[in-house]
Structure 1
């Protein structure tokens, strides 16, 4: 194609807005500004040639010379159409780039003095390479941008001039006016090609990214629409078949369960929130199962269910007496609790803690309270728990997460006001997984358990209506903060007479029924029962006694099954046939009084018991040897006893220089069992004086009490348990600190009347009572 030249150096001019015209470019324009219309009319009246350039800011309505670029294009008007509103629609063709040197301005029309702007071009391999790159990039651009006309792509095949290539490509690029103007103003063809290549590279990259994003969005939408379409079709098919979809059925079932329930608003809101999540999740997704399980737990909890207390103090007394023998003080406290609830139903009652050795009836007392109140009963064993999550639950983010023991117990009860027994609270421990007792603080505090927080449920649950009861063997291992929330009721254990009555009234009748026997089939004499108590069991509770009786009943049941109707009477003489040889001696105290052997009283997990402390002397230099796995406090008691004897040897009738001649050895038998506490001080003192004076200690005397270096005897704890333990061991003379005299009131009257008590304030008084051949005064 032959290149045309713009044959005028002075021509009419009008500015363009938002468009840049290049040589060889045919462009339609709408012209409406008066000066521009006058320029067009003047060109039409002559040679149809006109000069145009682009405004720097297209928003300016009346531009000045400084507001337009000084490089433009000389054009020829090809076609003109005057529109009804007075504007012109013209088609112009760019002929040649021109440089505007000067404007002639008048109020009605602009004229421009111009000169041609020629391209600088020398054919070279680099230019050829740039042309190919631009052609290839433009071809890719046209594929990515569907707005590029196909004619522009086809025209590239017939172009061998770089100038024409540049003008065709830039005129079809959708880039800014500034970038197009820069191409127009650049005269070096090589620089034009380089700049044009940069523009194409950038635009192609943007278009590639845009297309990728567009495809991802379209695919996602198409997949979602496809799933939606398929689900709707599936629902329609299931409706035609009279079936319901799994997800829809689950949601419908959940909503049906909610109907008629008076759930708290925050529970309803939480369930609805989870249902919205469930709708958006495919039924086979693991998350769907997690959400359904969580909602099931929320619906299973008795937010709105409770039992009505049937409070009758007299009936409660009958229930307690029917299920438990004696325990007068404990029963009295339980009846007080029930009576207060009758007078004020919303009272925040104390947390009762039953403390005592195994088998004394702590757990069954909880059941009796539930029966007396007409409430559901739940028992949770806390023994061995080391993980806080066992109490407060696991968060739902964990696989297999569940609520804690308390919420599980509430669900098991089915009501929000059960009698809740926390068994073995003294055996809860802490490790790296947290401290479970810290989680119990909230549950057992009446002031804050109305909004108990479980990590799994994540909603506050009201525990204020729950009657919590705890049990423990000892209180020493219960953290002080937790113990402070509870009212401790001690169950010390049973004496032989009480065990005899319990066996006759409760254990034997219950086990006969349990084994299919009638009362006339088996009779166990009182002496046989007492022999079982003394020679086959040694405990504060009743478990081993019940096991022994059950063993007898099983053997009789076997005989009845084999022979038919029978009648058996168990006596002392034939007891061994059913239970084998005795496990303990009938009398646990020493058979005779011995020098250096004194009987002390202790409290163990099995209740009260006696322990013999042995002392001996041997040639030496006054060393004190202590054995039997003694704790630090017990060792200090031995040191205090020895120091008092050395300081008062002459008054006590002991050789003043004994510590220069002898070593002293104190031993507490059952060395594998740890022993601790100050209450053995008086027993050690008596054993030491006995061995140093060579006078036996009376075998029928037991004692307890802490001593000081001044010889004072201080009070100790566990008096009731210790006295009952000594009584079970057939000891009937007991030495106690004077300050413990008030504790004798807690001991059953039947035991109290059969024991001679001596209350002392000074250690020397114990010698008059415990040592044989010493003067003794009864108190």
Structure 2
């Protein structure tokens, strides 16, 4: 039921709305609002409360206020020290704001024509049902949200007016101003209750969610507090036992190591992740040892650590000359590398492959290179390696997994640019576990090894700064793809003069020191050393020479300790007292002219050797027999030579039908040793012709060369090795292919002077020079 509009003071409310029946405290601070309260107090103490649409508006106008408000009575008024007022008001009735008379000045106040509005109530069961539902749902909301005291419900139980119930509940809800204004404007109670029920259900759902979230957070906090409490207890117990927090101390130690290294970002991230796992893991769990090993490997690698190279070529040359006599070609190549490094400042290292017979100093030369350029040295022996994981490492899924030998070598070197020796690369094998030679392709390829991938560490590792040195006895067994990545340098056999110098400058002082002798207590003359080399050793290198010198040192040491002598001087005359009878007699292969016995030259993995070819012609049916474990190429060479002799039977004064009545047996002594290659071709033909014609082969002559069916002599390999072997055995004359004469430039001057070299290009020349008339 509507009444007439009333002119009354207006109090704009910010951020809140008052419903009829609500009793609430309001703080009034704005000048106009204070004047409005004072005006109300001087009249009937009633004031119109209207909410602002935006709480931030400081000086609202009619457009900034809602259309409905509440007529309220001021119950109490209190002046605050700040000058503001605190009033206690009670909402009386809804009111529609007809017009607002805006204040012209600050010291005046707003007035409004307010039309009181009575609630429209329909007496039916639906309204009662809604009232009960509202009270029940409000009770659930109070329990769920715990924002309102549960005693408030007692006031609702006795309240029969549904409109008043709706207004009271609306006052307690935390809904926004717009929604509250809609409830205030809903004069029809049923409409008001329906809207309110919608808002209340929504708030109940939100309160339920808040409760769940709150419980989860509280549970998590309780769990964290529990863990913290238990950890503190463990710390206290460990402290009492005198153990301390070992795991935390261990992790702190790892963190300290990480801070001292220049680790890549991805490695740091991985280690931190593993440390987190380690901390959370029970101490007796087997996997913790796996994690520790992995972290230890990562931290032991020399990430970003480099040593300074020595680019002083004079110093490097002196170091190389001091450590090794001869080997000029190799030393020259190393000095060239240093010179290029000094000019370009590039860090890419070469891959040198030192190929030569055993005992010529390949491994010790790698040590000298490291000393010359002042780099760290590390070595890996590849002899007998047949598992790819030896090179690339095992995957960490396997028990007992470990990094490969390359990464292990980098660990031991402690820097990114060591001299890295891969020893005996020709002795690798392959089986069902993979091919290690193929795995080495990535290591030794300058275009790939800057991101070498080891299965264990799982991060690319830079090997491009490493100076790689590879050693092998022969290149035959190295896969072509691997050999292509290396620069091959041949180390040949030592000459007798070189061996004498090595013995005097290196081996004798070394063995003296090892056996507690000095230059005063033991002296070996140069002539005695030559006799040791000629009569007691036959080798490409100097290992046996070192053993013989060691034997002399032992004998001398024994005689000095037993006080037989005070010092010893070893000469060629008393040499047999120290080393026993002579092992190799001088010139036993080419000492005299014989029929059917010819001396050839062979190139083996232990250097050059003299090869004796024996041929016997007997009555038979024209058979050709070859014995002495010959390879296919050598057998075919003998067949070709035999066919050549048949084609030249007339010129050689042989019976043209000799091949039907004569058997020829070719034998190479030392039959247990495999022999192969075409370079004994002219040697076998000469021996066969000698046996068939009964003409002697001249003494002191040796030969090498491949033969064709037409009798041409083709060039062969290993000339330097073969010539040094011939010089070692005392050969005076050598027949060799004409095209091989250019290879003689590599020979020492004294070898060239001691031997007469005769170039040949046809078998007729060979026979004319080698056979006696």
Q: TM-score, normalised by structure 2?
A: 0.71
Which residue is 2:533 aligned to?
Answer: 533
Alpha-carbon spacing, 1:394–1:709, altered in 2? closer, same or farther (3 Å):
same
Alpha-carbon spacing, 1:319–1:34, altered in 2? closer, same or farther (3 Å):
farther
Distance in 2 (alpha carbons) for counterparts of 1:698 and 1:83: 145
Structure 2 counterpart SS, 1:430: coil
Which residue is 2:652 aligned to?
Answer: 652
Task: Verify the 8 A CA contact 1:246 1:283 in the aligned structure 2.
Answer: no
Structure 1 counterpart SS, 2:757: strand
The Cα of 1:235 is off from its aligned counterpart by: 2.2
Structure 2 counterpart SS, 1:674: coil
Distance in 2 (alpha carbons) for counterparts of 1:489 and 1:550: 30
Distance in 2 (alpha carbons) for counterparts of 1:39 and 1:290: 74
Which residue is 2:709 aligned to?
Answer: 709
Which residue is 1:459 aligned to?
Answer: 459
After the TM superposition, which parts of structure 1 deviate over 4 Å for at least 4 consecutive aligned residues?
A: 33-36, 38-41, 79-83, 85-88, 220-229, 239-243
Distance in 2 (alpha carbons) for counterparts of 1:768 and 1:304: 69
The Cα of 1:321 is off from its aligned counterpart by: 1.1
- Equivalent residue runs for 1:59-458 within 5 Å: 84-85=162-163, 230-238=230-238, 244-458=244-458
Which residue is 1:696 aligned to?
Answer: 696
Distance in 2 (alpha carbons) for counterparts of 1:619 and 1:222: 110
The Cα of 1:83 is off from its aligned counterpart by: 6.6
Distance in 1 (alpha carbons) for counterparts of 2:455 and 2:338: 33
Alpha-carbon spacing, 1:463–1:36, altered in 2? closer, same or farther (3 Å):
farther
Alpha-carbon spacing, 1:697–1:278, altered in 2? closer, same or farther (3 Å):
same
Q: Structure 1: where are the runs of 5+ without partners?
A: 1-32, 42-78, 89-219, 774-779
Alpha-carbon spacing, 1:565–1:771, altered in 2? closer, same or farther (3 Å):
closer
Structure 2 counterpart SS, 1:563: coil
Distance in 1 (alpha carbons) for counterparts of 2:238 and 2:163: 65
Task: Verify the 8 A CA contact 2:449 2:462 in the aligned structure 1.
Answer: yes
Alpha-carbon spacing, 1:564–1:418, altered in 2? closer, same or farther (3 Å):
farther
Distance in 2 (alpha carbons) for counterparts of 1:619 and 1:670: 26
Which residue is 2:670 aligned to?
Answer: 670
User: CA RMSD, aligned part only?
Assistant: 2.7
Structure 2 counterpart SS, 1:651: coil
Distance in 1 (alpha carbons) for counterparts of 2:664 and 2:482: 44
Alpha-carbon spacing, 1:223–1:586, altered in 2? closer, same or farther (3 Å):
farther
Distance in 2 (alpha carbons) for counterparts of 1:36 and 1:455: 83
After superposition, the C-alpha distances for 1:118-164 in whole angstroms (9 at most, x for unaligned) are: xxxxxxxxxxxxxxxxxxxxxxxxxxxxxxxxxxxxxxxxxxxxxxx
Task: Verify the 8 A CA contact 1:589 1:699 in the aligned structure 2.
Answer: no
Structure 2 counterpart SS, 1:652: coil
Distance in 2 (alpha carbons) for counterparts of 1:723 and 1:452: 44
Q: How many residues align?
A: 576
After superposition, the C-alpha distances for 1:385-409 in whole angstroms (9 at most, x for unaligned) are: 1111111111112222211111111
Task: Verify the 8 A CA contact 1:613 1:666 in the aligned structure 2.
Answer: yes
The Cα of 1:271 is off from its aligned counterpart by: 1.1
The Cα of 1:35 is off from its aligned counterpart by: 11
Q: Structure 2: where are the runs of 5+ without partners?
A: 1-120, 130-156, 167-219
Distance in 1 (alpha carbons) for counterparts of 2:702 and 2:123: 131
After superposition, the C-alpha distances for 1:149-208 in whole angstroms (9 at most, x for unaligned) are: xxxxxxxxxxxxxxxxxxxxxxxxxxxxxxxxxxxxxxxxxxxxxxxxxxxxxxxxxxxx
Which residue is 1:121 aligned to?
Answer: none
Alpha-carbon spacing, 1:39–1:569, altered in 2? closer, same or farther (3 Å):
closer
Alpha-carbon spacing, 1:651–1:227, altered in 2? closer, same or farther (3 Å):
farther
Which residue is 1:612 aligned to?
Answer: 612
Task: Verify the 8 A CA contact 2:613 2:683 in the aligned structure 1.
Answer: yes
Which residue is 2:490 aligned to?
Answer: 490
Structure 2 counterpart SS, 1:259: helix
Task: Verify the 8 A CA contact 1:654 1:689 in the aligned structure 2.
Answer: no
Alpha-carbon spacing, 1:226–1:616, altered in 2? closer, same or farther (3 Å):
farther
Structure 1 counterpart SS, 2:162: coil
Distance in 1 (alpha carbons) for counterparts of 2:378 and 2:718: 31
Structure 2 counterpart SS, 1:252: helix
Task: Verify the 8 A CA contact 1:599 1:699 in the aligned structure 2.
Answer: no
Which residue is 2:598 aligned to?
Answer: 598
After superposition, the C-alpha distances for 1:644-697 in whole angstroms (9 at most, x for unaligned) are: 111121123322111011111111111111111111111111111111111111
Which residue is 2:125 aligned to?
Answer: 37
Structure 2 counterpart SS, 1:292: helix
Distance in 1 (alpha carbons) for counterparts of 2:550 and 2:429: 35
The Cα of 1:410 is off from its aligned counterpart by: 0.9
For structure 1, which segment, 539-548 or 616-625, has the greater mean C-alpha deviation from structure 2 after superposition?
616-625
Distance in 1 (alpha carbons) for counterparts of 2:770 and 2:236: 97
Structure 1 counterpart SS, 2:535: helix
For structure 1, which segment, 277-286 or 603-612, has the greater mean C-alpha deviation from structure 2 after superposition?
277-286
Alpha-carbon spacing, 1:483–1:265, altered in 2? closer, same or farther (3 Å):
same
Distance in 1 (alpha carbons) for counterparts of 2:591 and 2:223: 94
Task: Verify the 8 A CA contact 2:598 2:686 in the aligned structure 1.
Answer: yes
Structure 2 counterpart SS, 1:520: coil
After superposition, the C-alpha distances for 1:205-255 in whole angstroms (9 at most, x for unaligned) are: xxxxxxxxxxxxxxx999999877544421244467775322211111100
Structure 1 counterpart SS, 2:671: coil
The Cα of 1:276 is off from its aligned counterpart by: 1.8
After superposition, the C-alpha distances for 1:311-366 in whole angstroms (9 at most, x for unaligned) are: 11111111111111112222211211121111122153431111111110111111
After superposition, the C-alpha distances for 1:64-117 in whole angstroms (9 at most, x for unaligned) are: xxxxxxxxxxxxxxx9996735999xxxxxxxxxxxxxxxxxxxxxxxxxxxxx
Alpha-carbon spacing, 1:80–1:424, altered in 2? closer, same or farther (3 Å):
same
Structure 1 counterpart SS, 2:650: helix
Task: Verify the 8 A CA contact 1:598 1:699 in the aligned structure 2.
Answer: no
Task: Verify the 8 A CA contact 1:37 1:87 in the aligned structure 2.
Answer: no
The Cα of 1:535 is off from its aligned counterpart by: 1.9
Alpha-carbon spacing, 1:339–1:83, altered in 2? closer, same or farther (3 Å):
same
The Cα of 1:758 is off from its aligned counterpart by: 1.0
Which residue is 1:211 aligned to?
Answer: none
Q: Does 2:630 align with 1:542?
A: no
For structure 1, which segment, 539-548 or 274-283, has the greater mean C-alpha deviation from structure 2 after superposition?
274-283
The Cα of 1:594 is off from its aligned counterpart by: 1.4
Which residue is 1:163 aligned to?
Answer: none
Distance in 2 (alpha carbons) for counterparts of 1:325 and 1:772: 42
Distance in 2 (alpha carbons) for counterparts of 1:548 and 1:616: 39
Q: TM-score, normalised by structure 1?
A: 0.70
Which residue is 2:144 aligned to?
Answer: none
Task: Verify the 8 A CA contact 1:621 1:662 in the aligned structure 2.
Answer: yes
Distance in 1 (alpha carbons) for counterparts of 2:249 and 2:454: 29
Alpha-carbon spacing, 1:429–1:412, altered in 2? closer, same or farther (3 Å):
same
Distance in 1 (alpha carbons) for counterparts of 2:564 and 2:160: 130
